[in-house]
Chains A and B, each alone.
Chain A
Amino acid sequence: MRRFVHRLYKRKVALISVVALVILYGGMLFAELISPYEHTTVFEDHAYHPPNVSMYSDELGFRPQVQKTALVDESNYRYARIADSHIPVKLFVKGPEYKLWGLIPMDLHLFGTTEPYEGTLTWEDGGQNYPVYLFGADNLGRDMFTRILYGSRISLTIGFIGIAISLTLAIILGGFAGYYGGVTDWTIMRIAEFFILIPGLYMILFLRSVLSRDMDSGQAFIIITIILSLVGWPGSARLVRGLVHSIKREDFITAAQLQGVPPLVIIFKQIVPQMSSILIVSITLGIPGFILGETVLSYLGLGIVDPAVSWGSLLNREVTSLSNLTSFPWFLYPGLFLLVTTLAFNFLGDLLRDVLDPYYREKSG
């Protein structure tokens, strides 16, 4: 552990990665608090609104502020800024009500404006405040920043859940294969080969087409996770099998066998701890695959769909069509978050592999 921290300080990219991941996951945990609205909050007449936060104006001087706009071209969604209509952005303002972590009822948001949007009613009186678009608005006038934060709740967790399922499968099946050898080994490895044989995305699409189609967002999340895990396990199973195969010859395993400890217990209690470091590496490097798998499915419109939101669904190909991207480039922000996340996991995993996996280090000199 100390060695890991030492290396982390030496390798700046990995350090930055850790910081980025902490920020992203912190943002995910406090998504409701940090985001000024809810992911379903619609501001009418503000579809495709560009980012509107600035730091300076003659009217208000140096401070975060928002300038009001008016829709001037309804077919192309062009907005005109209204002169001398700056509204200050304030910290900890009242907004839509929510329950933090599903438990604590709150209506406080990290930032927002205090002036009413249309008419005279603010949030407290059942109306809306004037929107702050840090990253711009989507096709329904929903705040992109809010949606990215809410979307991270799916995109950032699917990796962990997916890898947990696929690794459990891999440890059980790969463990049995390596532990028993012979026919068990042969059968399990042939099954694994089938999954490796078919290109991942084709397999995902096939499974997606046989599994039911009309689902709510919770079901969709579960089904997608299961599909991705089914496609992901064989690679790890091969790794586990090889490791178990070499560890099972050790004396302490023989001792456990002679005591009559059941194989599954031996695999999980005796063998898995032995290969924990390699598993940690393969978890870190495996997570981005799940995140990207979800993104691809949602991009194709086969994954998470409205009203649920994930980074993939924000990048859905109907939303990020070429014409949309050229006129509203902030539609790519979810992609930026995706990029930072996958890069961070990969850089971190690379460092972990250097620190933890002696075999790999020997190989790469």
Chain B
Amino acid sequence: MRHLVELIQRVGRPLYYFKAKHPLAHFIAARGVSMVVILFVLGFAVFGLMSLTPGDMVDNYVRSQMLMQSEFRQSDNVYSEEAIEEVKTRLGLNLPFYEQYFQWLHQVFVERDLGRSLISRAPILFLIRDRMVNSLILNLISLFFLTIISFGLGIYFSSKVGTPLDIGATFTALFLHAFPGILLLILLQLFAAVSGLFPITGYPDFPFREAPTRFVFSYAHHIILPLIGAFLSGIGGTMRMIRATMLDQLGRPYITSLRSRGVPERRVYLAHAFRNTLNPFITSSANLFASLFSGSLILEIIFSYPGIGRLMYEAVRQEDINLVLANIMFISFLILVGMVVADILLAMVDPRIRYGRQ
């Protein structure tokens, strides 16, 4: 036991030095390591969950494999229980879930292959990559607009607190926050169909390579309604949160202290209250990002936008277990990266996190 402690200390010493010397770099490294650990455990949980549940999904998988792949196919297309069991064993599906998980990891990281979709037979990596990029573009655009506009409005209304304008805005925000997102999207699409001003789908009907410039304009035209949908369902909650945090900050003693020294009001608002509002916002922005992805799933389905959400939906409907698995792992990875980025931003903004409390 003592040796172990000594060992840990010896290994830890350079780490402590590193932490003291480069607090930010250390922070980022620590978050990176924790991210890998979390992802690993997450995969573990996902595989465990799948083995725990009653087996239609595995059976379906085996059946489809037997139908699709010539090595298992039998002439009469009739399969006995024994035959199914045999194929399961050959595919490694009778192994305990953690061994399946390690196999999967091996496949992903060593062979760089996520397997093939059970339905379309396309390589999953190929399927996911494009969809992922599309979803990411969509959500980053809406995160960008959401952040900019809700900050603008939140700050503006926090300076007008108590006025009829502010009360109206708060009410509108609550209304938008409470409005069912799915209904909003359906109504927007209906609007597009009835008015004819916007396309009813969310994505151009020709590929980017064909005509890049035209694609960008067409994309903008297609994406505008879905974006408005995502924006409207997000703005209510975000603006309320920013307004409340701004008011909270403006009520703190340090603001009175700044005013008492004759610091200009503009600076009090922008350089102090606002800077301090950034902090909780960044903390919650990873959650916001995750909820945007959640919302964009519906959006992608309603507006037929080729994103990862629609892929996930189709995979679930078609019981494409490989694809579901890959989807859930990738989306978690993406959100985790978002969280780590948020943490790092936070450490850059807030010295208390960077240095720890002293």
Instruction: Indicate if the CB atoms of A210 and B57 lie closer than 8 Å.
Output: yes
Cβ-neighbour of B50 out of A197, A205, A210 (below 8 A):
A210
Instruction: Indicate if the CB atoms of B178 and A346 lie closer than 8 Å.
Output: yes
Which residues on A sit within 8 Å (CB–CB) of B211? none
Please judge, given known A-B contacts A197-B290, A347-B178, whether A365 and B56 are in contact too, CB under 8 Å: no
Instruction: Indicate if the CB atoms of A301 and B317 lie closer than 8 Å.
Output: yes
Is A332 close to B, CB under 8 A?
yes
Of B144-152, B219-227, B330-338, the segment with at least 4 beta carbons within 8 Å of chain A is B330-338
Instruction: Indicate if the CB atoms of B291 and A335 lie closer than 8 Å.
Output: no
Is B339 close to A, CB under 8 A?
yes
Is B206 close to A, CB under 8 A?
no
Is A339 close to B, CB under 8 A?
yes
User: Number of A interface residues, CB 8 Å?
Assistant: 49
Is B324 close to A, CB under 8 A?
yes
Which residues on A sit within 8 Å (CB–CB) of B312? 202, 205
What residue in chain A is nearest B315 (Cβ atoms)? Answer: A209
Min distance, Cβ A190 to any Cβ of chain B, angstroms: 8
Instruction: Indicate if the CB atoms of A322 and B294 lie closer than 8 Å.
Output: no
Is A71 close to B, CB under 8 A?
no
Q: Is the interface of A mostly helix, strand, loop or mixed?
A: helix
Which residues on A sit within 8 Å (CB–CB) of B181? 292
CA–CA, A214 and B189, complex, Å: 31
Min distance, Cβ B77 to any Cβ of chain A, angstroms: 22
Cβ-neighbour of B335 out of A198, A206, A301 (below 8 A):
A198
Instruction: Indicate if the CB atoms of A206 and B328 lie closer than 8 Å.
Output: yes
Cβ-neighbour of A208 out of B38, B186, B295, B316 (below 8 A):
B316
Please judge, given known A-B contacts A197-B336, A212-B54, A365-B161, whether A338 and B247 are in contact too, CB under 8 Å: no
Is B16 close to A, CB under 8 A?
no
CA–CA, A315 and B301, complex, Å: 14
CA–CA, A210 and B245, complex, Å: 40
Instruction: Indicate if the CB atoms of A201 and B287 lie closer than 8 Å.
Output: no
Cβ-neighbour of B189 out of A193, A196, A322 (below 8 A):
A322
Which residues on B sit within 8 Å (CB–CB) of A322? 189-190, 193, 200
Please judge, given known A-B contacts A206-B324, A210-B53, A343-B175, whether A326 and B182 are in contact too, CB under 8 Å: no
Instruction: Indicate if the CB atoms of A332 and B182 lie closer than 8 Å.
Output: no
Is B327 close to A, CB under 8 A?
yes
Is B180 close to A, CB under 8 A?
yes
Is B28 close to A, CB under 8 A?
no
Which residues on A sit within 8 Å (CB–CB) of B297? 199, 201-202, 205
Instruction: Indicate if the CB atoms of A317 and B301 lie closer than 8 Å.
Output: yes
What residue in chain B is nearest A336 (Cβ atoms)? Answer: B183
Instruction: Indicate if the CB atoms of B331 and A346 lie closer than 8 Å.
Output: no
Give A190-232 as 1s and 0s: 1 = Cβ < 8 Å from B's Cβ atoms.
Answer: 1001101111111101111111111000000000000000000
Report A161-207 residues with CB < 8 Å from chain B CB.
Answer: 190, 193-194, 196-203, 205-207
Report the tally of A-B residue pairs with Cβ distances under 8 A: 141
Which residues on A sit within 8 Å (CB–CB) of B38? 190, 193-194, 197
Which residues on B sit within 8 Å (CB–CB) of A210? 49-50, 53, 57
Is B251 close to A, CB under 8 A?
yes
CA–CA, A13 and B170, complex, Å: 13
Is A36 close to B, CB under 8 A?
no
Is B177 close to A, CB under 8 A?
yes
CA–CA, A213 and B65, complex, Å: 19
User: Number of B interface residues, CB 8 Å?
Assistant: 60
Instruction: Indicate if the CB atoms of B49 and A292 lie closer than 8 Å.
Output: no
Which residues on B sit within 8 Å (CB–CB) of A205? 297, 312-313, 316, 324
CA–CA, A167 and B183, complex, Å: 27
CA–CA, A325 and B54, complex, Å: 39
Instruction: Indicate if the CB atoms of B182 and A295 lie closer than 8 Å.
Output: yes
What residue in chain A is nearest B336 (Cβ atoms)? Answer: A197
Which residues on B sit within 8 Å (CB–CB) of A199? 290-291, 293-294, 297, 331, 335
CA–CA, A246 and B261, complex, Å: 36
CA–CA, A200 and B287, complex, Å: 10
Report B308-358 residues with CB < 8 Å from chain A CB.
Answer: 309, 312-313, 315-317, 319, 321, 324, 327-328, 331-332, 335-336, 339
Is B228 close to A, CB under 8 A?
no
Is B171 close to A, CB under 8 A?
yes
Which residues on A sit within 8 Å (CB–CB) of B287? 196
Is B232 close to A, CB under 8 A?
no
Is A286 close to B, CB under 8 A?
no
CA–CA, A286 and B175, complex, Å: 16
CA–CA, A326 and B192, complex, Å: 11
Which residues on B sit within 8 Å (CB–CB) of A212? 53-54, 56
Cβ-neighbour of B291 out of A200, A300, A301 (below 8 A):
A200
Which residues on A sit within 8 Å (CB–CB) of B105? none
Which residues on A sit within 8 Å (CB–CB) of B177? 346
CA–CA, A363 and B331, complex, Å: 34
Instruction: Indicate if the CB atoms of A339 and B183 lie closer than 8 Å.
Output: yes
Which residues on B sit within 8 Å (CB–CB) of A301? 317
Please judge, given known A-B contacts A194-B45, A292-B181, whether A201 and B298 are in contact too, CB under 8 Å: yes
Residue ranges of A at the interface with B (Cβ–Cβ < 8 Å): 13, 190, 193-194, 196-203, 205-214, 288, 292, 295-296, 299-302, 315, 317, 320, 322, 325-326, 332, 335, 338-339, 342-343, 345-347, 350, 363-365
Known contacts A190-B41, A194-B41, A199-B294; can you find 4 more A-B pairs with CB under 8 A? A197-B339, A214-B56, A292-B181, A322-B190
Selected A-B contacts with CB under 8 Å, 25 pairs = A190-B41, A194-B42, A197-B339, A198-B335, A199-B293, A199-B297, A199-B331, A200-B294, A201-B298, A206-B46, A208-B316, A209-B316, A209-B319, A210-B49, A210-B50, A211-B53, A288-B178, A292-B180, A295-B182, A296-B298, A301-B317, A322-B193, A325-B186, A325-B193, A365-B161
Q: List the 8 closest A-B pairs by CB distance, nearest first.
A: A346-B178, A199-B294, A199-B293, A201-B294, A209-B316, A210-B53, A365-B247, A201-B297
